[in-house]
Structure 1
């Protein structure tokens, strides 16, 4: 018996509904047809094709787990499976979808006014408008409570000043959800691209997430009406809840990157002949493949369990932290080990594992570093907040 796919080891698909399997297969076909033929060039050139956004909108993955406003309203598990297949293509692709749907769109959907939702969500779901999420700053990443961006009342308006850093989609976004300190605490604001005083800069010379646009947002005396404020967003809990949505997608997405690496390594090992036989026939290679397959399937089962908890309304933040910490670590280790099976060929863009490994270095850091998630779990276990 020879498995057709590494996730067949523990019969992962048998745990999915027919609809979930169809959604996964549909996204996988899209990635095969529209992403894999081009992603190595995107990575090498350091570009992300903005024109793919409407295609993703037609696919139905932008804000797919939200209800109304042109969003598909799927389950959390279905969204997770879409993230798995998107990141099997490239972390940059999943990052775009994640930021668009789970950060930018979710912030409007959960905390926005009826007018804000009607203005932005249908266009964002269709990929006609791109969003970004401005929380991280140059000096405050893991500690957003001390952000320096300020919003000050001026009559009926707000004046925003500050800088946001490492913002996915930042320099191509049509609207930014920007979080700022006010005299009443942290609040969120929708900043359209053409607002005077609002500028963006693309961050270049990246070694990771090269098929993704990362930007810096600058706000210099940006004047916004009060109607630009997200009326239901009060305090740091609002942006953190958005991050929880994005982290959930990473639990599945990182598993997809590992899956693509292992598929690639198995295919290569069966075709690469050394000492008169495929390197897949050597014990050391089989040990690597077996260990990675067990780790991959364990990660996939963890992701599915968390997805079922989310659909049941029982998923807690520390559980998302455990999922992201475990699955990204496992995925990064799998990507690196798969590269060793590919030998010298593995350092080229002809094969995906080292590209995935480079990307996963960023995934390990963004939406909460591995250190922060470790401390979240530690606090849950002991009751002590070590980072305070």
Structure 2
């Protein structure tokens, strides 16, 4: 069977830096940080007092207030991102076969805020006071389902949940869905709203987070020897993907083409990656093979780059395994240095950053990279601190998650 070409025609986001994709990319290229003190709950008893919190989000700018009350915060982010992405795409769903329109949106954790709030009600007021909307709010597929309702999409609709690799797995599933002629359009991406008391407390207990309370914007430090953990962040990123001829016939603006995708698992440890990065390397190799390109064809790597010791070292090793000597020539950056880690949404926002790098011929930097970790090989080009003008024809975006999940996307100029 001939594989159909898949392109990206719409982009939307809700992040700690901006709810505008263009403003987000500008902020990333300017090296701005979206990390600040948490204001939505009291963190005085926590060892960490900061994160990538979205402070001025108003869901009623996108949907009716009554409708929004039936959604957890992660679903609200997702539907806001989807409305922006669909508007950007120019699609008119009244002209589409609804059974050829899919929605696949991932999340690592789902409606954790709803679980927390309803658990308090259960303990304080009893089971009869638990909200009848609890399950529809907390379920991981709530974002996909609500987006499908919003646009009348009746094609494949489901969620993918694979920790921090959720976004890439989700976009990969959308890619295959269109490439194999199951859908013409898929709304896809990821959303997360785990910056809650139990969410923050859980990652604090795991000792995963940076403790740099005195300087939050400097806390996310991928590939830097002075890193001390990642920064927990919330938000969503949604893309509209279409079959190439479908997009071309309607005169759509095409941002880029998704060329390849692959996924593997380390089969090693529930939180730690394989030290030699073998699983991550295989995901990159298979994605490049799926795209039918050579490593030397890649112009830019948007790294997973979490600002954790194990991930940074394993990913650097994996890149050297795949790219050989070219690993010292290809620009690599981690936009998590600016945004922090959006868990199940992070891969989608990073793919958007890679697409914008292709469109604008600018590579966003890795900020806070003052003292490169020798174990990450400082001879590699991590684009420290300052954005770089460069022609980007093909980019890859890596995402690796707890559970050993590895997923890589290859995107190219159309």
TM-score using structure 1 length:
0.29
For CA contacts below 8 A with separation 6 or more, give which structure has more relative contact order: 2
Higher helix fraction: Structure 1 or Structure 2?
1
